[in-house]
Amino acid sequence: MKARVHVMLKDGVLDPQGEAVRAALGHMGFSGVEAVRQGKVIELDLAATDTAAAEAEVKAMCEKLLANTVIEKYTVEIA
């Protein structure tokens, strides 16, 4: 079973990397980009066979290690 975790900064948290990307795109002539938020994607191969159990386990991983829940939000996809 595979899991994909998307981690992004919460709304209202400054994103200096996203701002740097936005500025660089502007300098390259892509003037229509008004904002950029940068995040990360984590893909996991799981031994679990039960979807609900796998999702619960991955959420626990996010809470403990994969996301800084003070400033980041995450979503989990199980396939």
Question: Where residue 27 sits, what CATH number does that domain have?
Answer: 3.30.1280.10
Measured distance CA(10)–CA(69) in Å, rounded: 9
Confidence of residue 79 (pLDDT cuts 50, 70, 90): very high
Q: Which pLDDT value is given to residue 17?
A: 97
Q: Give the pLDDT band of residue 12 (cuts 50, 70, 90).
A: very high
How many structural domains are present in the chain? 1
High-pLDDT (> 70) share of the chain, %: 100
Q: Give the C-alpha separation, 36 to 16, whole Å.
A: 10
Tell me the average pLDDT across 49-67: 97
For residue 73, list its beta bridge partners: 8
pTM: 0.89
Q: What is the mean pLDDT of the chain?
A: 97
| Pairwise CA distance, residues 48 & 21, whole Å | 38
Provide the domain limits for residue 42: 2-78
Q: Contacts for 55-61 with beta carbons within 8 Å, 24 or more apart?
A: 55/3, 58/3, 58/5, 61/5
How far, in Å, CA of 47 to CA of 58, rounded? 12
